[in-house]
Amino acid sequence: MSDLTKLTIAEARDGLAAREFFAKELAEAHIVAIERGNKPLNAYILPTPDKALEMAAASDERIARGASRALEGIPLGIKDLFCTKDIRTTACSRILDDFKPTYESTVTQNLWDAGAVLLGKLNNDEFAMGSSNETSAFGDCVNPWRRKGDDTALVPGGSSGGSASAVAANLCLGAVGTDTGGSIRQPAALTGTVGVKPTYGRCSRWGIVAFASSLDQAGPIAKTVEDAAILLQAMAGHDPKDTTSIDAPVPDYRQAIGDGIEGLKIGIPDEYRVEGMPAEIEDLWLKGIDWLKAAGAEVQEVSLRHTKYALPAYYIIAPAEASSNLARYDGMRYGLRVPGQDLIDMYELSRASGFGAEVKRRVLIGTYVLSAGYYEAYYQKAQKVRTLIRQDFTDVFEKVDLVLTPTTPAPAFGIGEVSGDPLQMYLNDIFTVTVNMAGLPGISVPAGLSGEGTPLGLQLIGKPLDEATLLRAAYVLEEAAGPLPVPEDWWSS
Amino acid sequence: MKVDEATVRHIARLARIKVTDEEAKNLESELSAILTWVEQLSEVDTADVLPRASVVEMSMKKRRDRVTDGGYPEDIVRNAPQADKNYFVVPKVVE
């Protein structure tokens, strides 16, 4: 029954409803796939097979009595940034040690309330700080894709690398990630999966380990646009426990995707033609424009003037918020404690041994830009630039409904190829970070393969709260791109 | 902006992270590179621009100031490195 892992969520729902197989069999197929294939990929850092079987049994019981819910019996993987009750949650940092939350994050609770089944916790960059999943305390996560005729281990992207890798390798039917500067869309692009960063506030942040609170947002990574729509439907909604959660109705996303894009206006921002962009990325972008035109959309050039300043502004704002958020890890109430000569010594030793190099770098940058005498020059300046970036989008969305760009400036790179240079690594998010800075929804759709035979993605950016239009156009791109090849299974033993 | 080793040590102290001599040296060049790179923001004219902390058009939510949660101290201390009778045990702070 190993074929069950190759189903989409939509197909699995139909199969369960038609009693073609049981939720227990669906869970078992994935548990076996994880046992056989997780070791070389390192996508799951904590598989939870017993929990999965228990939840699947409950789903079978509900299906039997006709009380099935939207995600009844659908096995999912969860990024280790989401607090899961009584199940170890670490953000892939040593500092959280063996932390077992006594509560459940709102987004994951929404998924369980819809009947989903937990397969386990997925790898990510430590505290979601990274673009390659190489900063995890649990080791690198590996992309199931490889270059043509080359066994080099490639990164799955980050920070939601485990989520993207697990979906691409059929180790779950869908996964949940978080996106602060591109952490869902960039790994989705690098693994040939669909990744959605919803509007800021669309999904509750309650119970998600905080990185940069004004930028963080949860979203799905899935095999298809339809599956992403189904997952987002269950995840989204107002939550009184998160004051930044938006109190707005959640439309029927799955319904919306079939509506077509006749007459929709698509903007192409000239500023995304960055220097040194490979020709294959530019070609893919042009192909995407043709696909949307062929489906009846009107395409026009638009200008997002401050695009090039988004990344440097982000690298002030995100570390500043991180330095503040991560102040809570002091070895006193939970997590790692390293004994010292006195209280301050204990703080300093606990944090020195609990945080990895990239997290330390960002906490220190954040501390610096917020420190006396520098606040205005750095932090406030970056916030003003953020206003301008958002204004650019507001102006553009007076004229168009969506913006189309590439998701990443390059395909997946090898493990260790970029990690020595923090600035080079940051450039991975050059096309995705603007969306977080402006609080907008964005999606990455697999659109083709690079010359190396690895996946490339196109990004659509939408108006605030207009995920429905985003998914509609994404579905058109997916249909036009046609079925892409799947990576050959080298990871199962 | 270049930062020197003394500045790195000062920030590390503020952030309560102990750094080794080798780390301090590496951080000196890494932080300098990042801070120099972000300086391109000075090209942007922001004289008449208001800083933005929130990107969502939404008025601040309010609620009555009353207790809505609590009463489970065992849960609060469950993950503590050291706890005693629902208290966190920490090193002596006041002599």
Nearest chain B residue (CA) to A199: B56
Question: What is the token pair recorded at A436?
Answer: 């977080």
Catalytic annotation, pick one of A59, A79, A105, A160: A79
Q: Is residue B28 part of a domain?
A: yes
Contacts of A428 (CB under 8 A, 6+ apart): A131, A132, A157, A182, A186, A408, A409, A410, A418
**Minimal C-alpha gap between A70 and chain B (Å):** 29
Q: Is residue B34 part of a domain?
A: yes
**Minimal C-alpha gap between B8 and chain A (Å):** 8
Contact of A365 with chain B, judged by CB distance below 8 Å, is answered with: yes
pLDDT at A275: 84
What's the pLDDT tens digit per position in A201-221?
999 999 999 999 999 999 999
Residue whose tokens read 């205005």: A376
What's the pLDDT tens digit per position in A120-138?
999 999 999 999 999 999 9
Q: A434 near A216, Cβ under 8 Å?
A: no
Beta carbons of A315 and B31 less than 8 Å apart: no
Q: Is residue A121 part of a domain?
A: yes
pLDDT at B62: 86
Beta carbons of B46 and A100 less than 8 Å apart: no
Contact of A102 with chain B, judged by CB distance below 8 Å, is answered with: yes
Look at residue A491 and tell me whether its pLDDT is greater than 80: yes
Written as one letter, the residue type at A172 is C
pLDDT at A444: 98
Q: Is residue B18 part of a domain?
A: yes
DSSP string covering A425-446: HHGGGTTTHHHHHHT--EEEEE
Whole-model pTM: value is 0.97
Nearest chain B residue (CA) to A246: B58
For A462, the enclosing helix (H) or strand (E) is: strand A455-462
Provide the domain limits for residue A439: 2-265+399-481
DSSP for residue A403: E
Contact of A347 with chain B, judged by CB distance below 8 Å, is answered with: yes
A59 in catalytic set: no
Sign of CA dihedral A32, A34, A38, A41: positive
pLDDT bracket for residue B63 (50, 70, 90): confident
Q: Is residue A323 part of a domain?
A: no
A79 in catalytic set: yes
Contact of A359 with chain B, judged by CB distance below 8 Å, is answered with: no
Q: Is residue A137 part of a domain?
A: yes
Beta carbons of B52 and A390 less than 8 Å apart: yes
Nearest chain A residue (CA) to B47: A384
Q: Is residue A27 part of a domain?
A: yes
Helix axes A225-235, A106-113, angle to 10 degrees: 110
Contact of A338 with chain B, judged by CB distance below 8 Å, is answered with: no
Of B38, B54, B58, nearest to A312 by CB-CB distance is B38
pLDDT at B55: 81
pLDDT at A1: 43
Q: Is residue B19 part of a domain?
A: yes
Written as one letter, the residue type at A386 is R
A183 in catalytic set: yes
Look at residue A28 and tell me whether its pLDDT is greater than 50: yes
d(CA A179, CA A186): 9
What's the pLDDT tens digit per position in A167-189?
999 999 999 999 999 999 999 99
CB pairs under 8 A between A and B: 161
Sign of CA dihedral B15, B19, B23, B24: positive
Nearest chain A residue (CA) to B28: A361
What is the rounded average pLDDT of the residues A20-26? 98
Percent of chain A with pLDDT over 90: 96
What is the rounded average pLDDT of the residues A277-281? 94
Nearest chain A residue (CA) to B18: A348
Torsion of CA A3, A9, A10, A11, to 10 degrees: 10
Question: What is the token pair recorded at A470?
Answer: 């985003």
Contacts of A227 (CB under 8 A, 6+ apart): A8, A9, A10, A173, A174, A194, A220
Beta carbons of A387 and B57 less than 8 Å apart: no
Beta bridge partners of A219: A177
**Minimal C-alpha gap between B27 and chain A (Å):** 7
pLDDT at B42: 96
What total number of domains does chain B contain? Answer: 1
Instruction: Give me the residues of A, 291-310, that contact B with CB < 8 A.
Output: 306, 308-309
Q: Is residue B49 part of a domain?
A: no
What total number of domains does chain A contain? Answer: 1
Report chain B residues whose CB lies below 8 A from the CB of A199: 56
Look at residue A2 and tell me whether its pLDDT is greater than 70: no
Contact of A388 with chain B, judged by CB distance below 8 Å, is answered with: yes
Contacts of B1 (CB under 8 A, 6+ apart): B32, B35, B36, B39
Q: A200 near A243, Cβ under 8 Å?
A: no
CATH of the domain at B18: 1.10.20
What's the pLDDT tens digit per position in A287-311?
999 999 999 999 999 999 999 999 9
Helix axes A279-294, A467-481, angle to 10 degrees: 110
Provide the domain limits for residue B26: 5-41
d(CA A252, CA A108): 20
Q: Is residue B12 part of a domain?
A: yes
Q: Pick A404 or B68 by higher pLDDT.
A: A404
Q: A482 near A446, Cβ under 8 Å?
A: no
Report chain B residues whose CB lies below 8 A from the CB of A363: 15, 17
Q: Is residue B81 part of a domain?
A: no
Beta carbons of B34 and A367 less than 8 Å apart: no
Question: Hey, is A55 helix, strand or coil?
Answer: helix
Contact of A376 with chain B, judged by CB distance below 8 Å, is answered with: no
Of A340, A365, A388, nearest to B49 by CB-CB distance is A388
Beta bridge partners of A154: A414
Beta carbons of B55 and A313 less than 8 Å apart: no
pLDDT at A419: 84
Q: Beta strands A265-269 and A298-302: pairing type?
A: parallel
Instruction: Give me the residues of A, 216-235, that contact B with CB < 8 A.
Output: none
What does the mean pLDDT of chain A come to? 97
CATH of the domain at A435: 3.90.1300.10
**Minimal C-alpha gap between B77 and chain A (Å):** 7
What is the rounded average pLDDT of the residues A313-332? 97
Catalytic annotation, pick one of A105, A165, A183, A419: A183
